[in-house]
Structure formats: C-alpha cells, structure tokens
Chain A
C-alpha cells in the first residue's frame, strides 16, 4: 500500500506541482475568498441588520458594485481553486498517510476546507439561476459555510506559514532552491515532486496498476519551464475568461461580452430582469384590485392612498439600479412619490425606521425593515413608473419601493403597508 502511494505520488509529479506555484495561486485564491467573504457579510447585514447598524446610501450603486464583485470573485474561484488543487494533488497520496494525531487533524481540516469551498462556490453559482437541487436552505448554508471556509483558510495559512514564507517571492530561499540556485541542502519543501521518496526501481508494482504506472512512465516528460509557464497562463486566462464573459450581468462595461451569465441587462418587462414574478408571489388578483390602497401609519395616525391619489402627488424621477443578491443589476429610471413626503403626512421622525409589507402571500421578504437612512433619503421613492412606463405587474404594480444601495429583495414590490416603527 505504501509503495502504491509512493508510486502514485511520483506518477503525479509535474513541474507546476510545486510549493512556489501553490503559494502563487493560493494568494490569488485567498484574495478571491476574502472579497467574497467581505462583500457577503455586507450583503447579509443589509438584509438582516443588527438594530444599531446604519448603512451608507451613497453611492447609489454601492450594493450593485459589492454584490457584482461577490459573484464575479466567486466565479473566479472556480479556475483558481482547481489550479490550486492541481498544484497540491500529489499530497493526497503522501506516505505514510497518517504520521500522528496532529497530522490526522491537519489532513482532516484540509479535507473539510477543500470540500466546503467546492460546495460553497457550487451552490453559490447555482443560486444565480435559482436552482436548488438539494434539501437544505441555500441562504443559511451559504452563510454557515462562509465561516467554515474562512476559518479553515485561517488554520490552513497558520499551518503552512513557514512554507508560505519560504516561497513568498521569486527570490525567497525556497523558490531559489526550486530553481536549483542554491547548492546542496535538501531540495524544496514538502509538496515538491522531488521530495516524494524515490521508489525502488527493482521492485515494480505488478498487475494492472503496474501496467498503468509503466504507461505513465513511458510518456515523454514535460519540459519544466514551458510546463510551469503554460500552467500559470492557463489558470490566468481561464480566470480572466470566466469573469469577462459573465460579469456583464453586473457591470455595464462588460455587458457586450456577456454570453454566459444567467442574466442579461435589458431583458424582461420594462426592459428589466425579474427575480420573483407576480404569479410566484400570488398577487395576480390583489395587485390589480380596484380596492388597492397604500396604507401609511405611524401609531394611531394613518393615511390611505389609492394609485390615482399617489399619482396626483408631486412626482420625482430618479436613476437607481436594481441590484439583486444573485449578482445581476440594472440601472433604471424610476418615477414616483418621495417616501419621506409620505412619511411627513403621518408625522414620522427622521430617526424612525419602517416596516414594509407586501401583498405577497408568503415568502421571506413579505415583511421587511428599512432603516431611517434609507427611508428619509431624497432619492427613495414609492415608485409608480419605470423607464417611462407604468410598472409592470412583475415589477411591483401598483407601487414598489426603490431606494439607493439596497439589495433587490428589499426593494419591496406590490406594496401594501408602510408602518413607522416606534
């Protein structure tokens, strides 16, 4: 068994599979992970704020950018993590498989790190087109796994810190040893292919495995410099390509190159993509009911306004993006009544937040909160029109909320009630 592991490790050795490469790709992957984590935390707390939290309403595109980065960095993780795993794959067959309880713990933590990271980016990707072929809750698990991944990353860096330091730069001690610039001394670090114990030529493995190994050994060997350069180029080009051909769903500058993203700017009713349809929200009847009126209340003070009454109030036009948690976003021109003017009608204080209720029958975002920083912002509207037309029913007819820098799920559609919170 040990011999088989050693053979496998040797058969897997390849020029790019060295610790310097693991450090180079690992750094990029760590940056992508941290970008995802930071923007993910921001998105999470926007949706589930602690009572003391206040957020910036400027620039209006803030969430569009942070969530666009979240998704683009997540997509970039695919080539980066595959590249990183490629550099260290022979480590899977290290001999002896377990040296000590601590070593077992280290290997188990790496297995968790790798598995959790792969699951995290995969379910995140599938969520961008609302596909959930599993029975667990996406939001909860994506949230929990983010801590598992970042925690495992911290532990992994701690364990590998001496190695990372040895291969940090082109001129670090370990990197120069890899290039064979320093005479003598033990070569490279633990993941170096040369470090794999030399397998005795005299004791070949028999049977099918033996034949496979001979088949592998019989192949002409790779040219190290070309192989390494090719590897870095392939990972770099893959990363640039997957981002460039999908990030157009979030960033207008890239939208001409958007041939693979799940969302395309300018599609859908009112030239705007839809997240949840009126049908899915079960508001097809209530939203077009002639009895509809928006109720605004502050304790005992209540005002009720029909759509005609809302249209008769002073109208304001703003340019604000719809920015979805799933990463896509789109600028649009909204027309409607300033929310703060409606709140003044019930004597709300600028320190008070709001509770928004939609006509939706059910769903996690039927009732949401809005902090005073958004409620009293001059560009926050109860929108009645978008892009020069009446709101489509799928975009929240008869009235929806639109505020700067908030996730799309909080831009409540099919508004029913606005309650000022004490």
Chain B
C-alpha cells in the first residue's frame, strides 16, 4: 500500500505541475486569475449555497411530513433530486437560447417545454412509486395502515 500511495502522489504532483505549466504557458495572467476566480466561485456556490439549501429542504420536508411515512418522503426527495439535477443542466440552455446562439442548429429544441414535460413525468412516476410503496407497506403490515392517512 505504501508504494502505491507514493506512486499515486508522484503521478498527482506531476499532473498538478503539468496543469500549472500549460496554464502559465498558454494563458495571460488576467486569464489565469479568471480561472482561479471560477474555481473559488464553484466552491462557494456548492459549499455555501447549494448544500445548505439542500439541508434546509431536507429538514423542512421531514418536519412538514411528520405524519407521512418516511419511505414516501424519501421517494419524493428522490424525484426532486432527479428533477433538480436535470434542470441544472437545462436551465443554462434555455438562457443561452434566449440570448441567441451562433447558428440555428445549436440548441434547436424547445427546452423550456421539454423541461416542463419532464417535471410532469417525474411527478407522475414519483406518485406511482409512492402508491406502489404504500400498497406494499399496507400488504406487509395491515395494522399500521391506519396511520398512513
């Protein structure tokens, strides 16, 4: 294990060195600063904004859904996660299309409409998954069914 770790660290340092070398050779100092700003911003956006929001959403759902079975909450959260990640990739496309692309074959679809349809499909599948989950739960423990609704 020790040799593996040493080799990995050597490879890693070589990679970092090469990356830095390419950067200083090909980019102007103000462009390199731009890259550093982007890296810093990425960390802040993820660690300082997205993650705390996710925590708040999770806690809020657990509090608001006190009387809802946890499995249902987990399925709903899963649906929200899938929809949110897809939206994260598609929203910039919608914005870019609105400010214009370099030619009409770039971003040719109606991404807003597709995203709305996608969310509808996610909602439908989430509801179906919840229904199946609740039916199975009721079947396995008839006594607890009273507490579901």
* Complex CA–CA separation, A131 to B99 (angstroms): 10
Interface of A is mostly: helix
Contact A119 B15 (CB under 8 A): no
Q: Is there a chain B Cβ closer than 8 Å to A237's Cβ?
A: yes
One of B63, B74, B104 near A218 (C-beta < 8 A): B63
Please, which residue of chain B has its CB at the minimum distance from the CB of A217? B59
Given A129-B106, A226-B71, A262-B106, A161-B4 contact (CB < 8 Å):
yes
Please, which residue of chain A has its CB at the minimum distance from the CB of B110? A259
Q: Which residues of chain A have C-beta atoms less than 8 A from B6's C-beta? A: 158
Q: Of A142-150, A198-206, A412-420, which binds chain B?
A: A142-150
Q: Is there a chain B Cβ closer than 8 Å to A350's Cβ?
A: no
Q: Which residues of chain A have C-beta atoms less than 8 A from B43's C-beta? A: 111, 114-115, 118
**A9 to chain B: closest CB distance in Å?**
12
* Complex CA–CA separation, A421 to B135 (angstroms): 73
Given A125-B89, A154-B9, A155-B8, A268-B26 contact (CB < 8 Å):
no
One of A126, A156, A222, A264 near B109 (C-beta < 8 A): A264
Please, which residue of chain B has its CB at the minimum distance from the CB of A161? B5
* Complex CA–CA separation, A48 to B15 (angstroms): 19
Q: Which residues of chain B have C-beta atoms less than 8 A from A216's C-beta? A: 55, 59
Interface size class of B (residues with CB under 8 A): 35 or more
Contact A273 B105 (CB under 8 A): yes
Q: Which residues of chain A have C-beta atoms less than 8 A from B63's C-beta? A: 215, 218-220
Contact A238 B106 (CB under 8 A): no
> How many chain A residues touch the partner (CB < 8 A)?
84
Contact A162 B1 (CB under 8 A): yes
Please, which residue of chain B has its CB at the minimum distance from the CB of A11? B55
* Complex CA–CA separation, A327 to B54 (angstroms): 31
Q: Which residues of chain B have C-beta atoms less than 8 A from A226's C-beta? A: 70-71, 74
Contact B42 A152 (CB under 8 A): no
Q: Which residues of chain B have C-beta atoms less than 8 A from A229's C-beta? A: 74
Q: Known pairs A129-B101, A242-B89, A245-B118. 19 more at Cβ < 8 A?
A: A86-B54, A111-B43, A114-B43, A122-B42, A134-B34, A134-B38, A137-B26, A140-B27, A143-B22, A147-B18, A158-B12, A161-B4, A220-B62, A221-B62, A223-B70, A230-B78, A259-B118, A260-B118, A277-B103
Residue positions of B touching A, CB distance < 8 A: 1, 4-6, 8-9, 11-20, 22-23, 26-27, 30-32, 34-35, 38-40, 42-43, 46-47, 50-51, 54-55, 58-59, 62-63, 66, 70-71, 74-75, 77-78, 81-82, 85-86, 88-90, 92-93, 96, 101-109, 111, 114-115, 117-118
Residue positions of A touching B, CB distance < 8 A: 11-12, 14, 75, 78-79, 82, 85-86, 89, 92, 111-112, 114-116, 118-119, 122-123, 125-126, 129-131, 134-137, 140-141, 143-148, 150-159, 161-162, 165, 215-216, 218-223, 226-227, 229-230, 233-235, 237-238, 241-242, 245-246, 259-260, 262-264, 267-268, 273-274, 276-277, 280, 394
